[in-house]
A and B are shown apart, each in its own frame.
Chain A
Amino acid sequence: GEDVEQSLFLSVREGDSSVINCTYTDSSSTYLYWYKQEPGAGLQLLTYIFSNMDMKQDQRLTVLLNKKDKHLSLRIADTQTGDSAIYFCAERNSSASKIIFGSGTRLSIRP
């Protein structure tokens, strides 16, 4: 079946790197996404990676994909207070239209 798992909370010090991890079960996942949700706001697409890629970097964001272990991570370099939010991992396979979301990881930043 389709399932996406994430830890619920992560606390990091301002300026450090944050690493949010995600595991998924669908081996035919083709697209993997990271969304950010700030309090009272909608979901903002941060980045995505195709399953034939190992890594994708976009400014402070680095996505790593280990397809063998079905493990996805999002690294945020130089974490700032504005990065406080819930981060959702999501996956979709090419034969399905729906996007399956994890439960979200709440990232809090401490001074």
Chain B
Amino acid sequence: DSGVTQTPKHLITATGQRVTLRCSPRSGDLSVYWYQQSLDQGLQFLIQYYNGEERAKGNILERFSAQQFPDLHSELNLSSLELGDSALYFCASSRGVNTEAFFGQGTRLTVV
């Protein structure tokens, strides 16, 4: 167990809908990362937060947004969902911005 908790584990929703994925980092970790893993794209970095502030942005669509709250948990919001958004979404956390990152078990999103 990495100590990073993601909920829900599975999510099935229809096209056009909006979902929120939640991540609780390891105790003491200030940095949270979001990744998308799909069969054809591999592991794609979406966004990183450090102590509540956006730190780095990757290939995140405009339909997606994230935030990190004062208690350091993070949420990834996906809206106007498309079939192609079906993927595993991973959250990772690390102590600082350049230390090793530990991953949660992921949320499997299926858009039908």
Q: Do A and B bind each other?
A: yes
Contact assessment for B90 and A43 in the assembled complex, using a CB-CB cutoff below 8 Å: yes
Partner of A101, one of B31, B42, B100: B42
> Within 8 Å CB of A96, what residues of B?
56
Q: Is chain A's binding surface mostly helix, strand, loop or mixed?
A: strand
CB distance from A9 to the nearest CB of B (A): 15
Q: Interface size on B (CB < 8 Å)? A: 24
CA–CA, A15 to B6, complex, Å? 36
B97 and A97 contact, CB distance less than 8 A: yes
Q: Count residues on chain A whose CB falls below 8 Å from chain B CBs.
A: 22
Contacts A45-B101, A94-B98, A97-B98; A103 near B56 (Cβ below 8 A): no
- B-binding segment of A17-25, A28-36, A65-73: A28-36
* Chain B nearest CB, measured from A10 CB (Å): 17
> Among A88, A97, A99, A100, which residue has its beta carbon within 8 angstroms of that of B50?
A97
Give CA–CA (A42, B50) in the complex, Å: 22
Q: Is the CB of B98 within 8 A of A42?
A: no
Query: B97 contacts which chain A residues (CB < 8 A)?
Result: 97
- Interface mask (A41-72 → B, CB under 8 Å = 1, otherwise 0): 11111001000000000000000000000000
Q: How far is the CB of A60 from chain B (nearest CB, A)?
A: 20
Beyond A33-B100, A48-B100, A99-B33, is A42–B45 a contact (Cβ under 8 Å)? Answer: no
Please determine whether A98 and B56 come into contact, CB atoms closer than 8 angstroms. Answer: yes
Of the candidates B55, B58, B100, the one whose C-beta lies within 8 Å of that of A31 is B100
B residues at A contact (CB < 8 Å): 2, 4, 31, 33, 35, 42-43, 45, 48, 50, 55-56, 58, 90, 92, 97-98, 100-106
Interface residues of A (CB under 8 A from B): 30-31, 33, 35, 41-45, 48, 88, 92, 94, 96-104
